[in-house]
Amino acid sequence: MGTFAPIVVYWIYAGFYQLLPPLDGYRLHTRKEEEEKNLVPLSTVVKGVLLQQLVQATVAQMLFLLTSKANATGSIIQSSIPIQLLQIAIAMFVMDTWQYFVHRYMHQNKFLYRHIHSQHHRLVVPYAIGALYNHPLEGLLLDTLGGAISYLVAGMTARTAVSFFCFAVIKTVDDHCGLWLPGNIFHVLFQNNTAYHDIHHQLQGTKYNYSQPFFSIWDKLLGTYMPYTLVKRREGGYEARLIKD
């Protein structure tokens, strides 16, 4: 479950967004912008995501096997619900910390950006299925290794990890869906949301809003936070517009 549940959840949730009607009244970019600005076709994106998930599944399987062997001397006792929630909160902070600094460095290092991280930014207009479209090495360093470190530092069991990783996958997909839907619980609970990450994919915002997938703590502490405002477009939909000092 810990290995394959997040993969299944990814395709179910991303597929849900993909099968929705166009919803032009809630898009952060027009369909014309998506067609003209994105530099890679959907088929290539799907193949890239599947490759990353193959690597993730392999690492996750090895991690769960190693930790289960380490605990083989006694039965694993599932923690109480409050403890599990605390572990998930710790894992969220650890994952955010890891991804912020690795993500930011991949932008600052010209070689890494040109040859690795720029693959993700070929989707100038993000959409749900492309949430995990990355260079395989970036997927390993940013997502897979970040998830493994979060799991180990938080001290959660594999059963708790299933819930955490599925939640992280849903949040990541939602951040890339390109829609500002009314009543979206993630837009209510998290400042780091679809519009927040859309700013990072814009040309003027690539040096800002590195934080993902949960909080905006490190951006605000280290001066890489770019505020924005949502403006209703005349032709329908919204635009996440940067607010510059």
How many Cα atoms occupy the beta-carbon half-sphere of 40 within 13 Å?
A: 23
C-alpha to C-alpha distance for 121 and 102, rounded to whole angstroms: 15
Asked if the model's pLDDT at residue 70 lies above 60, the reply is: no
Contact, 127 vs 177, CB < 8 A? Answer: yes
Read off the pLDDT of residues 163-209 as tens digits, 9 standing for 90 and up.
999 999 999 999 999 999 999 999 999 999 999 999 999 988 999 99
Query: 206: closest CA among 190, 226, 188?
Result: 226
* H/E run at residue 161: helix 158-175
Find all residues with CB under 8 Å of 173, minimum gap 6, and list them. 10, 13, 14, 17, 128, 131
The span from the CA of 219 to the CA of 207, in Å, is 10
